[in-house]
Structure 1
Amino acid sequence: MNKLLPVVISNPGKKSLVYKARDWLMAALTFSLWMGLFFKFYLFIFEENALAVSMITATLAKLVVLGFLVTFLVFHCWAIYNRYLYNQRK
C-alpha cells in the first residue's frame, strides 16, 4: 500500500504562501512563454524582418528547453523533499 500519495497530493497544510507563490510563478512563466510564442508568430506574419524572427526563434527555443529543465528539477526536488518529510514521520 502506497502511503506517500496522500502526503504529496492532498495535504491541506501545503496551502501556505510559499506554495501559492511557487504556483503563481510557474503560471506566470508559462503565460510569458506563450506570449513570446504569440509575439513570434505575429512578427512572422506581419513583419518581414527575417533576422529578428530568427533571433526570437533561437531565444524562444532556449527558453523552452531551460523552462522544461527548471520545471522538471523543481518538481523532482519537491517530490524528494516530500518523501523525506514522510520518512521523518515514521
Structure 2
Amino acid sequence: MSGYVENKSDLTERLNPAEGQVHGIVRMVEDDVYCIDILTQISAATKAPENVALPLPNDHLSHCVAEASAEGGAVAEKKLHEESAAIARLVRS
C-alpha cells in the first residue's frame, strides 16, 4: 500500500484541472496563440503537479521508508536511495 493512499482523492482532485489545462495548451499552439499567453498557461498547468509532488516525499518517508527501515538491511538502503534520487529529480525539474 502506498503512503499517499489516505490522500488519494485529494491528490487526484488537484491533478484533474492540470489535465484540462494541458489540452488547452495544445489547442493554443494549434491556434497559433501568442507565445507569452502559452507560457502563462504552461506556468499555471505546472502548479497542480507541483502541489501534488511536494508532499509525496514526506509520505514516502513516513510510510515506505519507515517500513523498510524496520526491516533493515538492503531493503532499507534501497528505499533511502530511491527517496534521495526522487528528491533530486524533483529539484532538477
TM-score when scaled to structure 2? 0.47
Higher relative contact order by CA 8 Å / sep ≥ 6: 1 or 2?
1
TM-score when scaled to structure 1? 0.48
Higher-Rg member (1/2): 1
